[in-house]
Amino acid sequence: MAKKKSLDKSIERRAYGLTILKAAHPRMRLLKKHHEPSIHGNKFWSSSYLIMDFLGYQGLPIGTRVLEAGCGWGLAGIYCAKQFGARVTGIDADEEVFPYLSLHAEVNGVEIQTRKARFEELTSADLAGYDAMLAADVCFWDEMVDPLYGLIDQAVKAGVQQVVLADPGRPPFVQVSERCCEKLGAQTKDWSVEEGPVNASGSLMIIGTLPRARR
């Protein structure tokens, strides 16, 4: 019987069933020599854990088609693919994040599709093929409020059944969520998690529901 590889806590961590490589990991150090993300795509952001924790309670039907908007390194989408067999596409305006996403998808044994696009470039036809749209820590600039609300509004109209937005509670997030609550029937929840090395808190904005996952 093969011996189980032990966790080297200096170069990787595990949370929510995922292996997450730290900056000191040799493969991460090699990537950083050739790929320098912008638009805050330089690490995993904690609000992804809020989405994972929420989905851990709710569940996802196997094969759910998931769009992670502003995906960065794609942690939430990778979680959906690994834990629920979701078919995931990560979209980001900065293609330099995709090598980091692909590395973590490989390490966790899943495949994630990627596409470079800004929120305002996505059409109803682009969104109509998805069951759920997730976005974590994308509310970092005031000028993103209108494009993000427009994307969410378009996704709902295109038939996306559930939208989940997570954030520590920055003012742009508050603006987007208040508009979504008023016009799209969203609800907001305070959420905090402690899972192994993870300690995160913030807010979730949720629109709609998905069919109950089979246990």
Return the pLDDT at 27. 81
Q: Is residue 4 a part of any domain in this protein?
A: no
Q: How many domains does the chain have?
A: 1
Asked whether 133 and 127 are in contact (CB, 8 A), the reply is: yes
49 within 8 A of 191, measured Cβ to Cβ: no
Does residue 93 form part of some domain? yes
2 in a structural domain: no
Residue 3 lies in a domain: no
Report how far residue 89's alpha carbon sits from residue 128's, in angstroms, rounded to the nearest whole number. Answer: 13
pLDDT digits (tens, 9 = 90+) for 156-192: 999 999 999 999 999 999 999 999 999 999 999 999 9
Q: What is the pLDDT of residue 199?
A: 84
* Residue 215 located in a structural domain: no
Q: How big is the chain, counted in residues?
A: 215
Say what the pTM is.
Answer: 0.90
Could you tell me the CATH number of the domain that includes residue 107? 3.40.50.150
Q: What pLDDT band is residue 99 in, cutting at 50, 70 and 90?
A: very high
pLDDT at 32 over 60: yes
Geometric angle at alpha carbon 115, from 209 and 177, rounded to 5°: 40
**pLDDT at residue 39 in the model:** 55
Range of the domain at 157: 12-207
214 pLDDT exceeds 60? no
Q: State yes or no: pLDDT of 36 exceeds 50.
A: yes
What b-and-e string marks burial along 52-87, b requiring 16 or more CB atoms within 10 Å of the CB? bbbbbeebbeeebbbbbbbbbbbbbbbbbbbbbebb
Please report, for the chain, how many H helices and E strands are present, in that order.
Answer: 7, 9
In a domain, 6, yes or no: no
| pLDDT the model gives residue 25 | 82
Residue 212 lies in a domain: no
Average pLDDT of the residues of the chain: 89
CA distances from 123 to 26, 71, 93, 127 (A): 39, 18, 15, 6
Give the strand pairing for 162-167 and 198-207.
antiparallel
Q: Are 66 and 88 in contact (CB under 8 A)?
A: yes
